[in-house]
Amino acid sequence: MSVSSAFNDEKGGSSSVGEPEYGHDPASGGIFSSDYKRHDDLKEMLDSNKDSLKLEAMKRIVAMIARGKNASDLFPAVVKNVACKNIEVKKLVYVYLVRYAEEQQDLALLSISTFQRGLKDPNQLIRASALRVLSSIRVTIIVPIMMLAIKEAASDMSPYVRKTAAHAIPKLYSLDPEQKDQLIEVIEKLLADKTTLVAGSVVMAFEEVCPERIDLIHKNYRKLCNLLIDVEEWGQVVIINMLTRYARTQFLNPNINESLLEEGSGGEKAFYGSDDDEDEDEEEKEKKAEAMAMAKRKPYVMDPDHRLLLRNTKPLLQSRNAAVVMAVAQLYFHLAPKAEVGVIAKALVRLLRSHSEVQYVVLQNVATMTIKRRGMFEPYLKSFYIRSTDPTQIKVLKLEVLTNLANETNISTILREFQTYIKSMDKDFVAATIQAIGRCATNIGEVRDTCLNGLVQLLSNRDELVVAESVVVIKKLLQMQPEKHSDIIKHMAKLTDNIQVPMARASILWLIGEYCEHVPKIAPDVLRKMAKSFTNEEDIVKLQIINLAAKLYLTNSKQTKLLTQYVLNLAKYDQNYDIRDRARFIRQLIVPTEKSGALSKYAKKLFLALKPAPVLESPFKDRDHFQLGSLSHLLNAKAGGYQELPDWPEAAPDPSVRNVEVKESVPEWTKCSSREKRREKKVEKPFYSDSEGESGPTESADSESDSASGSESGSGSGEESGSGSQMLSFSVTVKSYELLHRITGEGLSVEYCFSRQPFSSDANMVAVQMQFTNNSTSETKSLHMEDVKLQSGMRVKEFAEIESLPAGESATAVMGIDFCDSTQAANFQLTHTRKFFVSIQPPVGELMQPVFLTENEFKKEQGQLMGMNEITEKLTLDIKCRNEHAIVQRVTTTANLSRVPCGSDKECRFAGRTVTSGSLVLVTVVTKDEGATQLTVNCEKMVIGTMLVKDILLALTQ
């Protein structure tokens, strides 16, 4: 069967012989005939010897899966092609197997050896797909194989494969939790990975397998903070949520002084309390006084790592992904000082306007935030006004936010909005608006009478639900000042003939009974009417009729004694046992007999005791103990798998656990400074110049050789010659990076470094020097570059082909890369007998070249790069880093900048330009007493400046 005919059949065209036509009468039984076989055409194509037919079949099968159709019966035919040599076919076969491996475990197990071979495939996509399929087979017997595959993949040269290994970890853990210890070792290894592609996935694995092991995060904390901005979006969400909980265990509460003062000032007294509470214990007073004194004596100083997290997450508030913005918002809410939380308000309001699909979740979080941080959303009040097109649940949440934002200043505006909302046809929304008016009246005493009068007007509304909700809210408001509102109580008593909603009728009866002394003439008449309709009332109304009768009997027995007995007799035989029990209990309590207990003496105190006015609170009042944005916060209940947000520690844990010893890896071939020794090693070209090969920074202000041998040392003008030795007084150790490991490269190892020398062929390119070492026992021939893949605008000047590299020998080559002033990686293949996929990604400091400025020129340029082109950060330097020598060495190691002369020994200045665009970069480090330091970067390109600040801060604080 041809491909075209098979495709036509799939689309519903003419059927082949033996297959039914769906247009025929189903009663004919053709569809259920025994000779009907599905997907015969696809099976024939998969059994073909032509890769083109197999590829077409797999494309159609994957398309079927994407449309939700069942293709499981093709599993035997597909799995036979798992060893196909065509890479495109193999990719699609693995995609299919990931989908059905769990359902067809027996057949999948037969191909285990093929998957294991796939783990060794040169193509990273095949290796990753093989691991993905292997981890999708949910059979305990292959757990050791899966564990071995994950461990090998965690050491793979491809970050994509390592990312897949991280994804496989939770799968194996759910299959066999006993493997937890071994998996933690893999997680620890992957957490140390410096690739942004891996970071989000391994943190997700960490959260699934061992979230309690925060010790694994310590040494990777700063790296995760610095990588965060470059991680893919969903990885950012995972990392931010994890770092939020981590920070709550490692740093002090930034609002600790404020909370101590609040505790010291004392809150409202408990509602129920003994008289002894007034005489507060002297010891307790001393503790509070001591806490206040401590707060004043020791001002809070934020940990630099705490500041690092806040600083590096702030730019993500501009992310186009709503989940990322929400994650940063919750982080700031839970971790930032009160004065800094306001930055998230604008981002959340922007989400409301641009992402209608996330409005519900955003408003849930905003409703919680407005309870503790009302001020930051007040400027955006109009953003929460309700539109007629909003769904009911959105309207209710916006009402909640508006109510939380109400204060004496804006209450008149908000009440005008509420008057409009009451006219809506959405009855649930109208009921919520009435409740919101009641809450505003409770919270703001100045408008209580206005709100009450407005609600009373609603009692004449034609809609019963509106009237009922108004009655319930009025009842709560009247409890605050009942003696001032007897007219309203009388008006509500008259409504008992018209209002039929049970809750509203019950509320009116409760009010009349509670304040019967204020309406002595009306209350007995209301009881008379209710007694007549008692048998037809709802249970909730009957209970309030009984309560009203009991209260009137105690206060006005002369008029209501017979009515009360009549009501109690009716209730005695009611079908509801609650009503029967209540009637018997009340009869014994209010009508004393010989059998009555001592409790009857206190009947008046029981029924007519003063009751506290209800507090109308927001349903979001206590939700902030859940992490914002979590399912538990949404449900206001702890969901399965939820990790509690830790409380702030009382004392700061040791910050040194996050210190990582940075070992500058100087290549072996750079340790020999003499030309004779380099010739002995048969290196074709010295990797560095003699002066750069010297290990460690050394001061040689008087040495002319240093000033002459440095990078671009001869470019200074005549008037700068006097300070040239000062600018180049530090020799920088150039860091090398591994490009290809000898095991992965099958004996060939490659290291590279950014030599900080001008690239001769093109001044806009960064010079990258590479050292090739043949560790095998055979000669390597024709070593060159292929298949260069670059981002838009980037360029590469390939190194000259190395025709022969004998066993045990090394060779050096230089290539040029124009990174376009970005840190995007340059990807290419190193090729000799095999192809090896490699990638070079530059630190931002290597995208620059030094420029020599006088002090006056520096100040002039800095003055033109103020405002939006300036980034300033404050930090505290460790005692070993407070000297000028250490600062200059760390800054120049981080970035290819030159030293600018300065008259002050407390200030260090550096200057450079980006290689591609020539954008100016100025760095100033000012050190004050006790290590307090200010870092300022002025840069024409703010993206470059932002990344440079992060790198220099990291270098200065380590």
Cα 430 to Cα 422: distance, rounded to the nearest angstrom: 5
Per-residue pLDDT tens digits for 820-859: 988 888 998 888 878 888 999 999 999 999 998 888 888 8
pLDDT (0 to 100) of residue 7:
42
What is the residue whose two structure tokens read 């470094």? 753
Per residue in 7-64, pLDDT (tens digit) is: 444 444 433 334 444 444 444 444 444 434 567 778 888 888 888 888 888 888 888 8
Is residue 765 exposed (0-12), middle (13-18) or buried (19+ Cβ within 10 Å)?
A: buried
- Mean of the pLDDT values across residues 225-252? 92
385: CB partners within 8 A, 6+ apart: 398, 402, 417
Residue 198 has pLDDT above 90, yes or no: yes
Distance CA 441, CA 864 (A): 55
User: What's the token pair of residue 711?
Assistant: 């990078």
Task: With beta carbons less than 8 A apart as the criterion, state whether 866 and 827 touch.
Answer: no
pLDDT of 684 strictly over 50: no
- 161: pLDDT strictly greater than 80: yes
Q: Are strands 766-774 and 748-758 parallel, antiparallel or unpaired?
A: antiparallel
Residue with tokens 């090729």: 831
Q: Does the pLDDT of residue 927 top 50, yes or no?
A: yes
Q: Rounded CA gap, 238 and 224, in Å?
A: 11
Instruction: Tokens for 85, please give them.
Output: 């040599």
Which of 271-275, 677-681, 734-738 reaches the highest mean pLDDT? 734-738
In SS3 terms, 886-950 reads as HHHHHHHHHCCCEEECCCCCCEEEEEEEECCCCCEEEEEEEECHHHEEEEEEEECCHHHHHHHHH
pLDDT range class, residue 356, cuts 50, 70, 90 = confident
CB 93 within 8 A of CB 76: no
Range with lowest mean pLDDT among 189-198, 205-214, 243-252, 424-433:
424-433
Residue 752 pLDDT: 92
Dist. CA 890–CA 886, nearest whole Å:
6
**614-657, pLDDT tens digit by residue?**
666 677 776 777 878 777 777 777 777 777 788 888 888 888 88
The residue with tokens 């009302």 is 374
pLDDT of residue 846: 92
Rg (C-alpha) for the chain, rounded Å, is 39
Q: What is the pTM of this model?
A: 0.58
User: Can you state the angle between helices 464-478 and 427-443, rounded to 10 degrees?
Assistant: 10
Q: Which of 504, 512, 577 is nearest to 550 (CA)?
A: 512
What's the pLDDT at 478? 77
Contact 335, 310 (CB under 8 A): yes
Token duo for residue 878? 């460790």
Long-range contacts formed by 411-416: CB under 8 A, 24+ apart: 411/440, 411/444, 411/446, 411/447, 412/447, 413/381, 414/381, 414/440, 415/440, 415/447, 415/450, 415/451, 415/454
Start-end of H helices in 355-426: 359-372, 392-405, 411-421
Q: What is the H or E stretch that residue 508 is in?
A: helix 502-514
Residue 715 has pLDDT above 60, yes or no: no
C-alpha 316/C-alpha 305 separation (Å) is 18
C-alpha closest to that of 154 among 195, 115, 113? 195
pLDDT in tens, 376-431: 888 888 888 988 888 888 888 999 899 888 888 888 888 888 888 888 888 888 88
Answer yes or no: are the C-beta atoms of 826 and 799 closer than 8 Å. Answer: no
Length of the chain, please?
A: 958
Within a 10 A sphere around the Cβ of 293, how many other Cβ atoms?
12
What confidence category does residue 912 fall into, taking pLDDT thresholds of 50, 70 and 90? very high
**Does the pLDDT of residue 296 top 80, yes or no?**
no
| Cα–Cα distance, 603 to 594 (Å, whole number) | 16
The pLDDT tens digits of the residues spanning 793-803 come to: 889 999 888 88
Lowest mean pLDDT among 703-707, 770-774, 924-928: 703-707
Mean pLDDT of the chain: 79
Place of tokens 């003499």: 674
Neighbour-count burial for 319-334, b at 16+ CB within 10 Å, e otherwise? beebbbbbbbbbbbbb
**Maximum Cα interatomic distance, the chain, rounded to a whole number of Å:** 124
Given a contact cutoff of 8 angstroms between Cβ atoms, the answer to whether 811 and 683 are in contact is yes
> How many H-runs (helices) and E-runs (strands) does the chain carry?
41, 15
Question: Percent of the chain beyond pLDDT 70?
Answer: 81
% residues pLDDT > 90 (the chain): 18
Chain centroid offset of residue 249 CA: 17
Ranges 300-304, 613-617, 887-891, most confident: 887-891
CA atoms within 13 A on the CB side of 277: 10
Sheet with 802-805: list strands edge to edge: 802-805, 780-789, 826-831, 835-840
Q: How confident is the model at residue 594 (pLDDT cuts 50, 70, 90)?
A: low
First to last CA, the chain: 69
pLDDT of residue 936: 92
Residue 783 to residues 124, 750, 804, 813, 815, Cα–Cα distance (Å)? 21, 12, 7, 11, 14
147 vs 667, higher pLDDT: 147
* The token pair that represents 378 in the structure block: 């007040």
Residue 635: predicted pLDDT: 76
355 compared with 192, residue with greater pLDDT: 192
* Per-residue pLDDT tens digits for 470-491: 877 887 787 777 666 677 777 7
The dihedral through the CA atoms of 262, 265, 267, 270 has a sign that is positive
Give every CB contact of residue 815 below 8 A, 6+ residues apart in sequence. 767, 768, 770, 785, 796, 797, 798, 799
Residue 433 has pLDDT above 50, yes or no: yes
- Residues in contact with 743: Cβ distance below 8 Å, sequence separation at least 6, in sequence order: none
